[in-house]
Amino acid sequence: MGHAIKSGYRHVDSAHVYRNEEPTAKGLLGAGIPREQLFYTSKVPPKCINYEDAKRCIDESLEKTKLQYIDLYLLHAPYQGTKGRLGAWKALVEAVKEGKVRSIGVSNFGVHHLNELEQWQKVGWVAANFGVHGSSENSIDSP
């Protein structure tokens, strides 16, 4: 991390499933750069896409990283059905209101998942992280 920060990197992409939240945050915080100049992303893991687990994951991320807030928190994948996705999104919205997270978004969602959230959600979109693979047209879609 130290070399990356010295080279000008200011954004770290972490996730529960990458098991890199604690070491990357430690590297950022130890780099001697003011926190407001750094950008830290993490994600709710696919198996935790529901209200209670998403809330727990956010709190665990803050505890592991020792950060006062997380800049961007994403739903890592659109699994666990409509109820799970909407519950997890609600947990992210609450985390923003509580000051735990600054921005929220999704990763690996298909168009129909985005439409589902758009119909439900009450806050504006901030970020979406998509993976598009030419050989697998529906690789990011799930029921």
Q: Which residue numbers are catalytic? A: 18
Q: How far apart are CA 7 and CA 13, in angstroms?
A: 16
> Helix 81-97 to helix 51-65 angle, to the nearest 10 degrees?
40
Q: How far apart are CA 115 and CA 33, in angstroms?
A: 39
Asked if 69 contacts 101 with a C-beta cutoff of 8 angstroms, the reply is yes
Q: How far apart are CA 133 and CA 140, in angstroms?
A: 9
